[in-house]
C-alpha cells in the first residue's frame, strides 16, 4: 500500500531535479556567452579598445575587432563588443558588410549623455574614408545615420 506514496515522492524528486537543471542552464547562459566571446576575442585581431566608459550609469569597456573570417569576395565586418568592467558581455553587433579597413575609432558623448562610437574606415574601392556612427546603449548598439 505504500507504493503510491513512493511514486509520488519519485515524481517530486525528478521534478525538482529537472527544475534545478533548467535554472542552472538559464543562470549559466551569461557565463557561456562571455566565454565564447572571450575565445573569439583571442582568435581575432583587435583594432581598438576603449578605457572605462560610463554608459547609462554602468561602467563599461568597448572593443572593436576585425572578423576572424576574411573571405573573398564577401563581408569583412568589424564587431563592436560592449562588456562590463568585469568582462561580462552586455551586447555586441557586427557592423560593415563590404570590404573595408578600419582607420580609427573615437568615442563622443552627446549633450543628453548618450555615448556614440565613430568608426572611420577606408572602403576598398573609394578614395575618401567613410565615417560610421553607432549609439551605444545597454540594450544594444544602434546605427546612427
Q: How confident is the model at residue 45 (pLDDT cuts 50, 70, 90)?
A: low
Return the CATH class of domain 45-144.
mainly beta
CA dist 116 → 17, 22, 44, 76, 136 (Å)? 46, 38, 23, 22, 6
In 3D, which of 88, 71, 84, 78 has the Cα closest to residue 134? 78
Whether the per-residue pLDDT at 1 is higher than 60: the answer is no
Give yes or no for a contact between 101 and 83, defined as CB atoms under 8 angstroms apart: no
pTM of the entire predicted model: 0.65
Whether the per-residue pLDDT at 72 is higher than 80: the answer is no
Distance of CA 40 to the CA centre of its chain: 11
Give yes or no for a contact between 95 and 119, defined as CB atoms under 8 angstroms apart: yes
Q: Which of 38-47, 52-61, 128-137 has the lowest mean pLDDT?
A: 38-47
Q: What average pLDDT does this structure show over 130-143?
A: 90
Amino acid at each position: 500500500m505504500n507504493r503510491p506514496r513512493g511514486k509520488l515522492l519519485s515524481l517530486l524528486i525528478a521534478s525538482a531535479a529537472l527544475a534545478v537543471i533548467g535554472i542552472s542552464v538559464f543562470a549559466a547562459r551569461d557565463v557561456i556567452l562571455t566565454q565564447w566571446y572571450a575565445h573569439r576575442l583571442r582568435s581575432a585581431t583587435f583594432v581598438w579598445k576603449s578605457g572605462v566608459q560610463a554608459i547609462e550609469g554602468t561602467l563599461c569597456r568597448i572593443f572593436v575587432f576585425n572578423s576572424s573570417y576574411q573571405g573573398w569576395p564577401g563581408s569583412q565586418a568589424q564587431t563592436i563588443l560592449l562588456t562590463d568592467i568585469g568582462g561580462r558581455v552586455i551586447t555586441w553587433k557586427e557592423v560593415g558588410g563590404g570590404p573595408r579597413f578600419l582607420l580609427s575609432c573615437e568615442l563622443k558623448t552627446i549633450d543628453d549623455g548618450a555615448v556614440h562610437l565613430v568608426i572611420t574606415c577606408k572602403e576598398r574601392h573609394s578614395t575618401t574614408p567613410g565615417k560610421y556612427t553607432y549609439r551605444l546603449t545597454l540594450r544594444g548598439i544602434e546605427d546612427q545615420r
